[in-house]
Amino acid sequence: MHTKWKTWAHVTKLDPDKHLTEDEIAEIATSGTDALILSGTLNITQENMSELRDQVKEYGLPLVVEPAGPESVVFEGIDLLYVASVMNTQDARWIVGKHREWAMNPSIVWDKVIPEAYIVLNPNSAVGRVTGADCSISGQEAAAYASVADHYFKFPIVYVEYSGMYGNPEIVREVSKAIDNAVLYYGGGIDSGEKAAEMTKYADTIVVGNAVYDKGVKTLLETVQAVS
């Protein structure tokens, strides 16, 4: 298992349902980002997940697959599988139900599996809509979910996910204060060096995704430089 994931400061999330040129992939892989997460919410299959994996694997960066559901779980050719449980949903499928389905796979490699406790806070995001997350919670409530994930369920990662919008740094700060053991990830709306630097004050690892597609690799480079 790749054991350095706890030290990553910057990771880049690539969506198998979106297109990048070979040159763009090369720039991303050599940007200084610590790892690549292959992940998306809509239209994700083993086929397009595997295709993206094959495009990026030659660069030698740590590769993480974060499946949206059992249908997009891939083990071959990757370092880690991040599996999310959404803390702030009433729909148990997204806490444990979907996990039962992929855990029936006889080829599962448990040494590669890292559980994530997701706190989803953008109601207009695909992940918010699909999972039925309660995105109206306060910072205090978000911190309570994080504390339960860290101290009770022992999740190694707590992930504050604003997916597509820049979140409230004060909420991320409250979540950070509630965690003693888990690594805190933040993702959502980081499309400048300034925003990257702000969220790095509270999160251990920032995730840059949509900015790669919306603003280009130059913006990604700015975010890498802001946290290095």
Binding-site positions read 13, 15, 41, 159-164, 189, 209-210
CB atoms closer than 10 angstroms to residue 170: 10
The answer to whether 219 and 33 are in contact (CB under 8 A) is no
- In angstroms, the first-to-last Cα distance of the chain is 25
Q: Length of the chain, please?
A: 228
Residues annotated in the binding site for Mg(2+), as ranges?
A: 15, 41
Tokens of 40: 């998306």
Residues annotated in the binding site for sn-glycerol 1-phosphate, as ranges?
A: 13, 159-164, 189, 209-210
Return all residues near 90 (Cβ < 8 A) that are at least 6 apart: 132, 134
Helices (H), the chain: 22-29, 46-56, 97-103, 126-131, 139-147, 169-178, 193-200, 210-214, 217-227
CB atoms closer than 10 angstroms to residue 222: 21
